[in-house]
Amino acid sequence: MVKMPGVKIGVSGLTQAEVEEGLPHLLDEFGHRSRILIPQAYWDELTKRLVISVGYEINESFIEDVAMDEIWDCVIATINFQEEIHFEILKE
């Protein structure tokens, strides 16, 4: 089995309530993005941030940049938030 390239992104600055309200919309938005495969998103209580994992069929050196742009677009479009938020690539 070939491992699909993937990216895990953490989004800090959101509240748990904001994530819980926006999560269904975020997951729905991922469904409209044909390049995003096997999306997962959840509130990480320990780190107090939204954690998003996505797979891609491409295996390019710039996959993290592609994912960051696309995930940023999806989060901004679907989650209502009050404070400044920050996105970072999480290493496994």
pLDDT at 56: 86
- Find, among 44, 92, 90, the residue nearest to 67 by Cα: 90
C-alpha dihedral, 58 to 28 to 50 to 9, nearest 10°: 10
pLDDT at 4: 65
In CATH terms, the fold of domain 6-89 is: Alpha-Beta Plaits (3.30.70)
Amino acid (1-letter code) at residue 45:
E
Residue labelled with tokens 């390049």: 35
Q: What is the pLDDT along the chain (92 residues), one digit of tens a residue?
A: 446 678 999 999 999 999 999 999 999 999 999 989 999 999 999 999 999 999 988 766 778 888 999 999 999 999 999 999 999 999 86
What would the two tokens of residue 65 be? 């940049």
Q: How far apart are CA 92 and CA 80, in angstroms?
A: 28
pLDDT at 19: 98
Instruction: Parse the chain into domains and list their residue ranges.
Output: 6-89
pLDDT at 1: 47
